[in-house]
Amino acid sequence: MLSFALRRLLIIIPMALLVVSVTWVLIRLAPGNFYEGEKTLPPAIEENIRKKYGLDKPWYQQYFLMLSNVVRGDFGDSLKYQGETVNDIIKRHLPYSATIGALAYLVALIVGLSAGIIAALRQNSSFDYGSMATAMLGLSVPNFVLGPIFVLVFALGLYWLPPARWGGISNLILPVLTLAAIYMAYLARLTRAGMLEVMRSDYIRTARAKGLSETDVLLKHGIRGGIIPVVSFTGPALAGLLAGTVVVERVFAIPGLGNIFIQAVLNRDEPLILGIVAFLSILIMIFNLIVDISYGYLDPRIRYE
């Protein structure tokens, strides 16, 4: 297990550099630059700007300079937020995105697992049909549609919750539910399918034949095997949560990484774009590593040599 984890950790570095390299190429291929505006700058000023940020150097020198900075974890200063480093900007805005993402997945996990387990134990019941129909509805409505609907109903219609901005607990409810909705649906369907398969397996029949109660069979054997599909989904889900916060933060005016990433793209703030992309890609790969390691503890048939 330790050697497997070390090998995967060593792969993270070149993979992150590959992602950053592709992002850098796409930024350079896109038309325009960060200092262009409605008015054209005089040639002398434009030349000074290019010298200041090293844009007058050949592309390969710029590329290798960027790679060396990324390896050292230093993305430099933001091109638009004068006097602020990329690392400081990420540290300042990360808690907002982390809070929304963690709460959203926690809500999705609790509701999705509960609905999926109950639906599997009561197969073909009204609860089973109703919960799966609701899950299909949740899968069909994207969060950029669901968010404004929640705002119209609960904020502007019923006046129960604030429509936007970061504040108290009440400000978190709508963005968390918006982000969690689709993952509730996925987790409910995956849990139901996994539980149905496990509860019909031979070792569950053996456990019942030995006289174990249905509660012990469910808690000690059924859930452990039934949630393996959920664990498999956790890595991509966490990645999706990080990407989903971009839309949700924009809809609810939350100053998280997603919102600042959109501003960086609009401003062509290359260091900030590369810093956020590198940070998120490394985080996603670490999440996937944790998921793979957890397989060995949940399923005794899985071993990492």
Q: For residue 210, what are the domain limits?
A: 101-267
Give the other-Cβ count within 10 Å of 59's Cβ. Answer: 11
Beta bridge partners of 85: 77
pLDDT band at 12 (very low <50, low <70, confident <90, very high): confident
Residue 47 lies in a domain: no
For 28-62, the pLDDT digits (tens) are 887 766 666 556 667 776 777 777 777 778 878 88
Domains contained in the chain, number: 1
Would residue 226 count as lying in a domain?
A: yes
Encoded tokens for 185: 């649906």
Rounded to two decimals, the pTM is 0.77
Q: Which residues contact 207 (CB under 8 A, 6 or more apart)?
A: 216, 217, 220, 221
CA distance 256 to 90: 9
User: Most confidently modeled of 209-213, 242-246, 264-268?
Assistant: 264-268
Distance CA 257, CA 96 (A): 8
CB atoms within 10 A of CB 174: 24
Span 132-142, average pLDDT: 85
**Residue 305 included in any domain:** no
Q: 105: domain CATH number? A: 1.10.3720.10
* Residue at token pair 């071993």: 303
Cα-Cα-Cα-Cα dihedral of 186, 191, 194, 198, to 10°? 180
- On whether residue 96 sits in a domain, the answer given is no
Residue 91 has pLDDT above 70, yes or no: yes
Looking at residue 77, what DSSP letter applies?
B
In the structure, what pLDDT confidence band is assigned to residue 148 with cuts at 50, 70 and 90? Answer: confident
What is residue 94's predicted lDDT score, i.e. its pLDDT? 86
pLDDT of residue 300: 56
pLDDT for 193 beyond 80? yes
Whole-angstrom distance, CA of residue 101 vs CA of residue 95: 10
